[in-house]
Amino acid sequence: MDDQELVAEYTAWVAGAERRLLRSAYLLTGDLHRAEDLVQEALVKVASRWSRLRSGNPTAYARTIVVRDNVSSWRRRRREVVGDDVGLRDAAMVSSDPDAALVVRRALARLTPAQRAVVVLRHFDDLTERETAEVLGVAVGTVKSQNAVALERLRSGAPELLDLIGRTR
């Protein structure tokens, strides 16, 4: 395969994967600019290794880079519960339902980065427990326990999330 064909193949793959990766990164970070940085850097790494990755699962590779870069960054700049520094106007940029976007953002911010990653990978990206474990570099049992703890934390610590679900049913 010549260089032009590789470029075309890579471009086609990005077109199919970029939006999902960006939405996933946003849910991981709660910050659209940060999410764009994470996805862009992950795609550069995929592009650098495209000839090796193209026959495998480049989306899984990109997702892994996004998740790990985010956890790594969080460990360098630990933060507590996210503040109310995002308003409805910002939320309207990411969602057709800004109220829901704000509630989800605040609820996810109550989780640790690992718990948050498990929730996003399992319940937004629809990964299996094994796939989630591979992305995070942990055992399947750890994914199970993190998922259970995270969901319980959302139930007990984010009642507005339950209200929202009830309101929309």
Site for other proteins in 105-144 (CB under 8 A): 105, 112, 114, 119-120, 122-124, 126, 134, 137-139, 142
Shortest Cβ distance from residue 127 to other proteins (Å)?
A: 12
Shortest Cβ distance from residue 14 to other proteins (Å)?
A: 4
Give ∠ CA 53-55-61 in degrees, rounded to 5.
Answer: 35
Shortest Cβ distance from residue 87 to other proteins (Å)?
A: 15
d(CA 63, CA 95): 22
Specify the residue, 79 or 130, whose C-beta has the smaller distance to other proteins. Answer: 79
- Chain positions 11 to 70 lying near other proteins, rule: CB under 8 A, are 11, 14-15, 18-19, 22-23, 26-27, 32, 35-37, 39-40, 43-52, 61, 64-65, 68-69
Number of residues that bind other proteins (CB under 8 A): 80
- In the numeric block, which tokens belong to residue 55? 């026959």
The single-letter DSSP state of residue 56 is S
- In the numeric block, which tokens belong to residue 94? 């990411």
Selection from 70, 83, 73 nearest residue 109 by Cα? 83
Of 58, 63, 86, 104, the one binding other proteins (CB under 8 A) is: 104
Selection from 165, 134, 168, 167 nearest residue 151 by Cα? 165
**C-alpha 109: how far from its chain's center?**
13
Of 1, 55, 85, 89, the one binding other proteins (CB under 8 A) is: 85
Of 1, 55, 75, 89, the one binding other proteins (CB under 8 A) is: 75
- In the numeric block, which tokens belong to residue 3? 């260089």
Give ∠ CA 31-32-33 in degrees, rounded to 5.
Answer: 95
Shortest Cβ distance from residue 144 to other proteins (Å)?
A: 13
